[in-house]
Chains A and B, each alone.
Chain A
């Protein structure tokens, strides 16, 4: 790509950018999505608790912005969307624990707020009913607010699915392309990228962690966001029975939260309070790990440090606690027409479906012509999930292609057949394969399979093994060939 013309340019291949791309592909619009990483969903989308929340029970602090309804409007859209795209979705339900009467009263108010917004499924549970649902929960909890609607998904797989479906329906989706400059012109925008120039009429800025920086390139940064960082530890699947609902305790101070949630794959996540952090500093530290474990044990005392198989730090771009937990930015820049900024703090993934619709509405208001795309196909096929096939299906599949009988990742039972499918789907790195298939996500964290996956990637992509990277760029795994450092030849 050296010069490219497009009607709508979407900046950012996270869950919001790809959801907007797919939503736009319902119409005859010439749209292009660019993502700076070599794959989709590797920014804020990747690093969170994977929860689909609804937010209808939360207080809205601000009246001038009304993006919060996008969260609860998304709830009914999320499950059908995941079904169409064959993305994981599991309605686990949520238990918000209280430990005394004042906690209970707070949750009664939340329940009333949810009801006023049309969500009537919340229930207050007493200690006994709570223990029947979750026998391993702390005995200190005197009850809980139960919200059966809360679900979990896999945000990266969902984002990959959205990008693929958008591409199938005509959106030009490009990875490895970073925005360097934007100039507003009479007819629209001239966007300079690492791969060439793009001229477009409309911009959707869904640049995630860089949303303010991208907006500032063209003086469309009429908002303030700051990065906050949280820490998540992943527990071994063998303790997945400890809890089956998302469980949290009410934060005692802004930014503090204790949370444990099941994932769609059976591992539990434990998370720490989110704190203001330097942008891009996604390093974990010892304190985060200790706090996460201590907080998690306040909810489920049986959780052990030994069960942690990995951890990561996740970021959000956040506006202001005083504006509300679910405050986000989905609006046309007040200073630059045809430039839409999209940034969603806490609810992130949860708000994606309604946000995408809202963005399309905003674009239309700015003059984008929306004519229906009669060829739009909402369905997208996921790659094979060998583990969840029936015995008979497994037998047939291996008989037709023996690569499905070759288990490469033993912790997660991922077969060579699935890895080859993932590479055909666009995975070109170890992390790309990992996020699509889970190869390397298990308890040994790729110790056994990384050499095998490297070999399969090299074979399928037709490149030498030493060129295979963990996540693109300079992240090569194997820097030298045998004897290269001592000047010899193999």
Chain B
């Protein structure tokens, strides 16, 4: 395959990119290429050696590498071309891609369509603004996961984890199994940041202390980290004076948020949604720029890889149709976040086709009713920012839309007590 003939170029060979590429091939695109910066395809799934992947997509309980492997195999079978160790350095609004590659040298080409699948990155100590000294021994949870599961090293033996994101909780268990002691998982919110199943299986089952409504106010140590000061926070998340205490540790892991990686999207001129940090997309996952699509954590941070795969398949299918001259979604109805809704993806729908909406709330609430304009309403026992809401709108529900509707407001209302 010559790069000049590429129909669909997928940026990123993680779960999102591979799923998009396979679907693009299956939809009929001839030449589909994945540009991946790491040594091999599969993305961060290869360091996620725990299970819990594929429960929905495959109806099976798989490890990260197993889940990735199924997609990588399928990509090879369907004739997707993968270029590993290839870093995209630029995308123009006209879809001109420039990249550098260990194997292929300097590349510049213009595919018929592009799928953005760059995933997300973890918030660093600097982005979190944790005060104190700057010693060694501070890692994001994902970096530590790579060191432990791929490189074969244990960062330290007394660990504090800031944030209760899924990778942090998984690493709490992983490091405990490796013989380290996890002194505390420190979470600013009154509830955990990740999935309930990880709180139970990774923290409770291993008696790991969880400090809710606490934060780290200082890092100690000149060369290697020696301790952290933790303090309780008030309702506005500010540390409460007098509640500080010191916890000795030789390692600090950070699992306090993920940021979609959209620097290339910005270069291409793609419009971003401030709430998701990712591109605004329509129901086909086309971005604000025609011929550029996006799927997976680059659009919004998912809890489950199964949803990443599904969403990216949609992006891959649409990119293939676009490459083959098809028309995208017609008409744009805006979905607007109302009460206690942080974001909705996609940001616009056509109103013509069946569509799945992914949403997150701002705050935890019990006994609520989710209302999608006047076309759908659904009672929910509890909603949490850490658990994505997923709602399918069927054609018969969409038929309730009035002619000329330009906006649908989504609310998460408090239910009246009976």
Contacts and interface: CB of A to CB of B under 8 A. Distances in A.
Contacts of B150: 451
Contacts of A285: 131-132, 218
Interface stretch (A212-220, A247-255, A480-488): A480-488
Grouping DSSP codes into helix (H, G, I), strand (E, B) and loop, the B interface class, with mixed when no group exceeds half, is mixed
Contact of B266 (A238, A403, A411, A481): A238
Question: Could you say which interface size class chain B belongs to?
Answer: 35 or more
B122 interface: yes
A478 B153 CA distance: 6
Nearest to B125: A445
A485 B154 contact: yes
Contacts of B336: none
Nearest to A413: B89
A447 B132 contact: no
A446 B142 CA distance: 11
B148 A480 contact: no
B231 to A, nearest CB: 11
Nearest to B105: A398
A310 B131 CA distance: 11
Contacts, number: 163
B179 A395 contact: no
A272 to B, nearest CB: 13
Given A471-B223, A490-B152, A444 B122 contact: yes
Interface stretch (A48-56, A199-207, A371-379, A462-470): A462-470
A285 B239 CA distance: 12
A333 interface: no
Given A283-B218, A482-B178, A469 B136 contact: yes
Contacts of A477: 136-137, 155
A474 to B, nearest CB: 4
A135 B103 CA distance: 45
The winner among B101, B148, B151 for most chain A CB atoms within 10 A is B151
A395 B105 contact: yes
A478 B155 contact: yes
B37 interface: yes
B126 A309 contact: yes
Nearest to B250: A479
A448 B131 contact: no
Given A238-B266, A474-B223, A485-B179, A444 B124 contact: yes
A283 B131 contact: yes
A9 B121 CA distance: 47
A288 B132 CA distance: 11
Interface residues of A, number: 61
A133 to B, nearest CB: 25
B87 interface: yes
A476 B155 CA distance: 9
A126 B178 CA distance: 65
A479 B178 contact: no
Interface string B114-144: 0000000110111101011111110110110
A481 B106 contact: no
Interface in A282-327: 282-286, 288-289, 305, 308-312
A473 interface: yes
A238 B263 contact: yes
A275 to B, nearest CB: 15
Contacts of B101: 398, 405
A406 B108 contact: no
Contact of B121 (A305, A399, A448): A448
B224 A474 contact: yes
A285 B219 CA distance: 10
B98 interface: yes
Contact of B178 (A284, A311, A483): A483
Contacts of A471: 136, 223
B100 interface: yes
A64 B235 CA distance: 57
Contacts of A192: none
Nearest to B100: A405
B143 A391 contact: no
A431 B187 CA distance: 30
B155 A286 contact: no
Contacts of B157: 479-480, 485
Contact of B133 (A282, A310, A474): A282
Interface string A434-461: 0000000001111110110001000000
B333 interface: no
A119 interface: no
Contact of B100 (A284, A289, A407): A407
B223 A473 contact: yes
Interface of B: 37, 85, 87, 89, 98, 100-106, 108, 121-122, 124-127, 129, 131-137, 139-140, 142-143, 146-148, 150-157, 178-180, 217-219, 223-224, 239, 250-251, 263, 266
19 contacts: A234-B126, A283-B131, A283-B219, A284-B131, A398-B100, A398-B105, A399-B105, A405-B101, A407-B89, A446-B124, A447-B140, A470-B136, A471-B136, A475-B136, A478-B147, A479-B250, A479-B251, A485-B157, A486-B179
Closest 9 A/B residue pairs (Cβ): A310-B126, A485-B179, A445-B124, A470-B136, A407-B87, A486-B179, A475-B136, A478-B153, A395-B106
Given A395-B106, A473-B223, 9 more contacts: A238-B263, A283-B133, A310-B127, A407-B37, A411-B263, A443-B121, A447-B121, A450-B143, A471-B136
Interface of A: 234, 238, 282-286, 288-289, 305, 308-312, 391, 394-395, 398-399, 402-407, 410-411, 413, 415, 443-448, 450-451, 455, 465-466, 469-487, 490
